[in-house]
Structure 1
Amino acid sequence: MKLRTKIHLYSSVLFALLFLTTNLIVYIVFSTMTLQQQQSRVESQTNKTADNMRQSSVDTPAADLLRAYVPIEGMIRIVRETGSNTLLVTSAAQQQLAQRPVKYMEERTAEIITYEQQRYVFVSVPVIWNDGQVVDIQITESLRQTEEYLRALRIVLLIVTGLAMIPVFLSGHVLGRIIIRPIAAITATMRDIRRSGQFQRLTMPPASSDELYEMSATFNSMMDLLESNYDKQKQFVSNASHELRTPLTIIESYASLLKRRGRDRPDLFEESVEAIHSEAIRMKEMTEQLLMLARHEEQWNLTVEPVNLLEQAQQLVREFDTAYHRRIEMRIDPELEKQPELLVIQTDAGKLRQMMFILLDNARKYSSDDIIIELTVEHLLPPSGSAGKTQNTAAIPSNRCIKIIDHGIGIPAADLDKVFDRFYRVDEARVRQDTGGSGLGLTLARRIAEALGASIRLESTAGQGTSAILSLPETSAPLPSFSANSN
């Protein structure tokens, strides 16, 4: 069953039940009040009749009195205590009441009874008769006319309910169409997207705060996100295939060259082996970076432990000096020299080292001058309510910053945000052999920083150099002190 049919059916049934319940309550309340009113009226009339008959019983025969006070549709009778010598008079339409059993009532009684499938109001009033005996003056009056009124009321309520169900049925149909319209539009749009392969948007109605407008807006936002991710994925696949095709082509070319001339040209053999080895290493690094970027952070198996930033930086300085013969200058904030325990943070040592290596490697590739590593403290905003007060610097929240500064070619301001995209290069004309890399390093560094709760930002001026600033959160637990001058 379709959702529109369900809405139509459920709303119609709900409103039908609501109308029937309401009308039933109205009928029960009205009929109860009407019957109680009739009972009160007959009871009051019987009291007056009993008083009048008692006063006139001396001068007027009892039979004449009964005929004078008999109801239009009913019966009046006098019942003695013994239940005998009963006098009664019935109206012409209620002769069957004469057969009703006689019962003497010691107390005043008023009730609604059913006799011969008809309902009556029965009232019995005890009075002292002219001979000194206590007798009951009993009046039984038919409720036929009241029953006809209630029957007419039932018919009217049923007709009103039936007529009211017509607009309810139509409104349920309209309501179902209104609710389903944006869902149907989304379904149709999805079918068009699947058929055409092009991302489409819903036509937005005027701004509103209802859920249907929010659903349409959410769908369009989702389409924007999917299209953006699709474009990035397409670009990524294109770039990845291009980047992987290049080393494979080089390897294949040199392998073919070796196959043809390698035995006769020793110098060509050395060149080919070196090129194949270099491209194989670059392709291996690129593949590892791609695989790591494809994983979720939960799959990186982070190991959080106390890490000394100075020791990590000094180790990388020694490795770069040995491998690339590049001088790296270390600078330490005076505050860190005074409080060397601030150099220790809780993080993953391997991932931190990988981040720093990526940033240092970029500085090495795009500059020929010395590289600078600065270890500093970045103080955050002081806690609220502390303005104008002197505070201990250690009490103010702070981050540890690692700045890697080079004096190379720099990055134009328009490209600063783009360099973190996969395979992005500021200068597409730059020969890859001059710099190496695959355009994945900064992307991977940012992903690692996000996993560690850190942040990376770049400050650069084209032609003057670049500063990569790695901001690490403050350690949350007291850790052992380390000397800032340790090697």
Structure 2
Amino acid sequence: MKLRSKIYLYSSVLFAVLLVIMNLFIYALFSRMLTDNELEQAAAETAKIAAAMRRAAGEVTPAELLRAYVPVEGMLRLVAADGSGPAPVTSVSEQELSRLKPDYYEMRQTEMLRSGGHSYAFVTVPVIWADGTVMNVQMTKSLESTMGTLRVLRLVLAGATAVALIPLLLSSRLLSGLIMRPIVQMTATMREIKDSGKFRRLTLQDNAKDELVEMGDTFNGMIALLESNYLKQEKFVSDASHELRTPLTVIESYASLLKRRGLAHPELFNESVEAIHSEAVRMKELTEQLLLLAKHQEQWVLSMKHLDLEELVRTSAKVFHNAYGREVEVQSGGRVEAYTDEAKLRQLLFIFLDNARKYSDEGITVNLEAEGRNSIIVITDRGIGISPEELPKVFDRFYRVDAARSRQGGGAGLGLALAAEIAGAIGAELSMHSTPGRGTAVTIRIAAESRGRS
């Protein structure tokens, strides 16, 4: 059974059962109140008759008294302690009541009894008769009018229940459709994604804030993540196959050269080994960058904390000087702090310092300053620069300015793309200004305090 049918069936049955229980409760309560009221009236009427009969007992015969006070639809009788007494008097319509066996009761009693398929109110009141004996004045009164009212009430409640079930069933179907709509949309969307291979989102009502919309938002978020990972994977495969082909070809060519002519021409050995080693190192760096770019930012392990930027930059500049022998001048007007991930920011600095080293032979300068709630790092070189039309593309993967960033002088075109990914992960903003022939300045803007702090 489908979920829609289950919701429709269970909700319909539940609502129907609740409606029936409510109507049964209403009927039972009204029936109890109506019969209790009739019994109270019968008891009061019997008490009045008993008092009147006692006052007239010495003047009028019991039979005449019974005929005088007999109810319109019922019976009136006198019963002595031994069960004897005058013949009961009944109304014309209730002759069958006279056949009931008389019973004597010591205490006043009121109850409802059934005889011949009809309902009656029975009341017995003990009275002291004129001769000193204790007699029961017993009245049996028909409750058929009350039972008729209850029958009408049963029909009305049954009809109301039947009529109410129609909108109830329709509302249950509407409810099941409303609940199942986003699920059906999800199923259709997933089936379409599977068949077409293209990612789609659910169309949601912005004004609704219920759990179904929340589920749809979660689904769209999951699809966005899957699409992002899929595109990263697709891009990774394309980029890797494109960029790894050249170093692998070089390595294969030199290995083949060594295999064919290495023994006969020893002078080729150093050249071939150097070329193979160089391409292997470049392929290793390229692979590491590709793997990092293929990982989603949310999967990166970050350790955000408050840092002294001047200390971090000076330490990085010293390491860079020791590795490449290039001087890096650090300028700071005072203490500058930032809330970021130390390892990722250091990696970001090395990417821009390495680019400055590759495309500039002159000194490299790093300026630190505080600007409001942000801290700013500016890395400046006086190298060949980048033309204005090329500047917007430098953060794209595998993009290289052909005139200046050839394979001999530059990298694979992944460094700045990786820098953009790192900046996005740690919440930094990057901007680049460059003038051909005069140099390039890269600005890193980082929050000085945690965004959660006031």
Q: Shorter-chain TM-score: which interval?
A: 0.7 to 0.9
Q: How many Å apart are 1:13 and its aligned residue?
A: 0.4
Correspondences of 1:290-309 after superposition (within 5 Å): 290-293=290-293
Alignment match of 1:361 (pick from 350, 354, 362): 354
Q: How many Å apart are 1:248 and its aligned residue?
A: 0.9
Kept after mapping to 2: 8 A contact 1:411/1:426: no
Q: Distance in 2 between matches of 1:123 and 1:306?
A: 93
Q: Distance in 2 between matches of 1:415 and 1:62?
A: 127
Aligned to 2:103: 102
Q: Distance in 2 between matches of 1:146 and 1:418?
A: 93
Alignment match of 2:410 (pick from 421, 424, 436): 436
Q: Distance in 1 between matches of 2:11 and 2:35?
A: 36
The answer on 1:455 being equivalent to 2:428 is yes
What amino acid is the match of 2:430?
R
TM-score by length of 2: 0.80
Pair 1:468–1:281, CA change in 2 (3 A): farther
Q: Distance in 1 between matches of 2:53 and 2:371?
A: 111
Q: Distance in 2 between matches of 1:229 and 1:414?
A: 31
Aligned residue for 1:432, secondary structure, equals coil
Unaligned runs of 5+ in 2: none
Q: Distance in 1 between matches of 2:408 and 2:298?
A: 36
Pair 1:274–1:209, CA change in 2 (3 A): same
Q: For this pair of structures, how many residues does the alignment match?
A: 446
Q: How many Å apart are 1:2 and its aligned residue?
A: 1.0
Q: Distance in 2 between matches of 1:323 and 1:217?
A: 49
Aligned residue for 1:326, secondary structure, equals coil
Kept after mapping to 2: 8 A contact 1:258/1:268: yes
Aligned to 1:66: 66
Kept after mapping to 2: 8 A contact 1:79/1:87: no
Q: How many Å apart are 1:279 and its aligned residue?
A: 1.1
Q: Distance in 1 between matches of 2:26 and 2:305?
A: 75
Q: Distance in 1 between matches of 2:91 and 2:449?
A: 105
Q: Distance in 1 between matches of 2:170 and 2:71?
A: 52
Aligned residue for 1:123, secondary structure, equals strand
Q: Distance in 2 between matches of 1:419 and 1:210?
A: 42
Kept after mapping to 2: 8 A contact 1:410/1:466: no
Pair 1:462–1:41, CA change in 2 (3 A): farther
Aligned to 2:14: 14
Q: How many Å apart are 1:27 and its aligned residue?
A: 0.6
What amino acid is the match of 2:440?
G
Cα deviation code 1:128-181 (max 9, x no counterpart): 544465543221223344334424433443344234334433443344334434
TM-score by length of 1: 0.75
Q: Distance in 2 between matches of 1:331 and 1:160?
A: 87
What amino acid is the match of 1:112?
M
Q: Distance in 2 between matches of 1:2 and 1:281?
A: 59
Kept after mapping to 2: 8 A contact 1:80/1:86: no
Kept after mapping to 2: 8 A contact 1:83/1:104: no
Cα deviation code 1:164-206 (max 9, x no counterpart): 334433443344334434432332232222122233455x487
Moved more, 134-143 or 187-196: 134-143
Unaligned runs of 5+ in 1: 337-341, 381-397, 476-487
Kept after mapping to 2: 8 A contact 1:73/1:94: no
Q: How many Å apart are 1:472 and its aligned residue?
A: 7.1
CA RMSD in angstroms, aligned pairs only: 4.0
Identity of aligned residues (%): 48
Pair 1:349–1:52, CA change in 2 (3 A): closer
Correspondences of 1:225-304 after superposition (within 5 Å): 226-263=226-263, 268-293=268-293
Alignment match of 1:467 (pick from 418, 429, 442): 442
Kept after mapping to 2: 8 A contact 1:126/1:137: yes
The answer on 1:37 being equivalent to 2:37 is yes
Aligned to 1:395: none
